[in-house]
Amino acid sequence: MTQQQVEVTGPVDAFRQFFSLQRDVLVLSLAMFAFSLGFQMTNRFLPDYLVFLGATGFIVGLFATLGNVIGAVYPYYGGIVSDRVGSRYALTVFGFLSTFGFAIWLASAYVPAIDLGVTTLEPWVWVFVGLLLAQCWKSFGIGGHYAIVKQATEPSRLARGFASTETFRRTAFLIAPLIVAVLVADQLMPGFLWVLVIAIVFSLLGTLAQHLLYEADEDSVGKEFEGFGQIVDDIRALPDPLRPLLVADTFVRFANGMVYAFFILVITRLMGIGLTATLPVVGAIDLSPAAFFGVLLSIEMFIALLTMAPAAKIAEYTGLKPIVGLGFFVYAIFPIMLIFAPENVWILVALFAFSGLRFAGLPAHKALIVGPAERGAGGRVTGSYYFIRGAVVIPSGVLGGFLWEFVTPEISFTIASIIGMIGVGYYAVFGQEFEAYQ
């Protein structure tokens, strides 16, 4: 695979650069777009779906923790399977499993509680089962995405390379919540069931497209991970600039993991605030709290799309560290700002717009992770990094759920912001710059 010079200065340029990428990058990213659409239409709204099915706040926290376990473990097992059957077939298998997971989420609404004598199997249990399958494709794709972009981009322009693919992929993150907002405009159900149907269709299309169009002969996707037998060596071999980044990132992500699943519940359950307004052309609108949350997510992602490419360009002058630090700061401060925010529509709009700035540092963050890796080892370094971070972050969801259910949501979100700010401070003091940006 030949290197390509990446010139990205804004969102439009990011799209132009994306479509000039090689076929393997393009096909994989198109599949990522389809699956991202499905994930974003469902995952951010699943906590409210769980509550609808009878789950408590603590159960929502357990659900978030299961997601953390999957995020830590699946990339390695996915790599093992890929080594055995080849990346094309592995991606196809994981795609179909994800589609089946979405189908189980849909079926959960129609399955009654099952009395087992000793205990009762509640409908929300099947949402947990569905998660085990729905996350298959997403969790497998991490290392391959990083490795491909690294191979196709000059070291000093890695942030721009990631900005290109991220801008395209995260357009799905902008569109998906708007689709949900339309379908759940009056209330969560039954509109969310149609959301799940659409997610099934998109994941199925993504699976078929990648199987028919993806040429696995010329890239190393599926050959980057070597399984748990290599984990100790991989951890020891992490490049020096990654160590303080990993520590800080783990603090920030642990904090985010405590509250991420509960953002929708703040809007729909604590505040119960929807959106009533009169817009030009559209006229009067009256959105339910769940639909308003979808609008807020789209606003957040709109700001992200506007800022990712320019921030990647700025990083070439300031270095990666300040941009990454900005993203960490927004991650850390947002929970306490949200939980104590007045119940005002426009303040919430401003808050989620501010939250979109955390994605501004994402391309720089990814560049700093994979940049110092030796050529050909990007996937393994990425897998090791995410495995360590994911393993430490695993308990965050259940801790946040416990505090939400048995203490107070305010305490949970405050503690989360404190933990996040510890990570921000650590990175400010000990974080290192990638040499190519110095």
Q: What is the pLDDT of residue 284?
A: 76
Angle between helices 378-393 and 57-85 (to 10 degrees): 160
Instruction: Extract the tokens encoding 331.
Output: 């991650």
* Mean pLDDT across 142-153: 56
Residues 301, 60, 198, CA angle at the centre, nearest 5°?
Answer: 50
pLDDT tens digits along 339-391: 999 999 999 999 999 999 998 888 778 777 766 554 444 455 666 777 788 88
> Closest Cα to residue 308, out of 328, 323, 291, 293?
323
376: domain CATH number is: 1.20.1250.20
The answer to whether position 2 is within a domain reads no
d(CA 112, CA 191): 19
* Mean pLDDT across 15-25: 53
Residue 279 is inside which H or E element, if any?
Answer: strand 275-279
Residue 285 is inside which H or E element, if any?
Answer: strand 283-287
Cis amide linkage into residue 190, ω under 30° from 0: yes
Location of structure tokens 């929300």: 124
Instruction: Extract the tokens encoding 329.
Output: 């700061």
pLDDT tens digits along 302-340: 998 888 878 878 887 888 888 999 999 999 999 999 999
* Mean pLDDT across 112-128: 90
Number of domains in the chain: 1
The residue ranking higher by pLDDT, 130 or 9, is 130
The answer to whether position 136 is within a domain reads yes
Location of structure tokens 């991650």: 331
d(CA 104, CA 107): 5
> Does the pLDDT at position 211 exceed 60?
yes
d(CA 61, CA 67): 10
The answer to whether position 42 is within a domain reads yes
Coil, strand or helix at 228: helix
d(CA 341, CA 70): 32
How many Cβ atoms from other residues are within 10 Å of residue 113's Cβ?
A: 13
The answer to whether position 126 is within a domain reads yes
The answer to whether position 196 is within a domain reads yes
pLDDT tens digits along 251-271: 999 999 999 999 999 999 999
Identify the sign of the CA torsion 360, 362, 363, 367: positive
d(CA 433, CA 327): 15
Q: What is the pLDDT of residue 219?
A: 47
How many Cβ atoms from other residues are within 10 Å of residue 335's Cβ?
A: 29
Instruction: Extract the tokens encoding 392.
Output: 């430490």
Q: Dihedral through CA 91, CA 94, CA 95, CA 101, nearest 10?
A: -170
> Does the pLDDT at position 236 exceed 90?
no
**Which amino acid is it at 376?**
G
The answer to whether position 3 is within a domain reads no
> Does the pLDDT at position 154 exceed 90?
no
The answer to whether position 5 is within a domain reads no
Instruction: Extract the tokens encoding 340.
Output: 């104590």
pLDDT tens digits along 88-110: 677 788 889 999 999 999 999 99
Instruction: Extract the tokens encoding 3.
Output: 């290197």
pLDDT tens digits along 381-431: 666 777 788 889 999 999 999 999 999 999 999 999 999 999 999 999 998
Location of structure tokens 């994981």: 94
Prediction pTM value: 0.84
> Closest Cα to residue 400, out of 2, 22, 97, 65?
65
Burial of 254 (0-12, 13-18, 19+ CB in 10 A): buried
> Closest Cα to residue 367, out of 332, 321, 410?
321
Q: Which domain holds residue 344?
A: 11-216+227-437
The answer to whether position 325 is within a domain reads yes
